[in-house]
Amino acid sequence: FIQLREKNLDTDSFLKEAAEIKELCARYHVPFVINDNVEIAKEINADGVHVGQEDMAAGNARAILGSDKIIGVSAHTVEEAVLAEKNGADYLGVGAAFQTGTKKDAGNISHETIKQICKAVNIPVIAIGGITHDNVMELAGSGICGIAVVSAIFAAEDITKATRELKELTLKMKDSTCISKDNASS
């Protein structure tokens, strides 16, 4: 799953970059979503969009993109998570799980809050923020279904090796309480 997050590009450059990444992701059958920008997600026919609390409600994004698109929502509290699910979110990005340099305005949320969010919703919860090879195992038992990373991979000397190792650790960390749409009723 790839999410393109560009905060400082002009629209034409963003569109060009998004179209190139979409093509690459399609070649490898990797879902591709755009962060925050529903208009660009619609224009390039991305697989979906991820919106923050200050961006757009999940229901509004769904109305613009259609029922077949992925809608992700950032959540920091149980209340935000429950509302996002009620409004049609397909998954939640929850964090920051740890201190992060990638998103300067992200405050950490406790691992207890992450657990509470996982218990409160029936959609996948993805932890984000400051997750590394060294701390990913601290998320074991939280109920999350996966992690989102930037620096843990792109700041590594060997990106392929870092990705492989982080994936292996994440699979070990992932706990059986992970909720997905397929087993939400079980």
State the catalytic residues: 5, 74, 103
Mapping DSSP to helix (H, G, I), strand (E, B) and coil, where does residue 48 land? strand
Quick one: which of 80, 108, 104 has its CA closest to 96? Answer: 108
| 8 Å CB contact between 4 and 43 | no
Convert 52-116 into a string of H (helix), E (strand) and C (coil): CCCCCCHHHHHHHHCCCCEEEEEECCHHHHHHHHHCCCCEEEEECCCCCCCCCCCCCCCHHHHHH
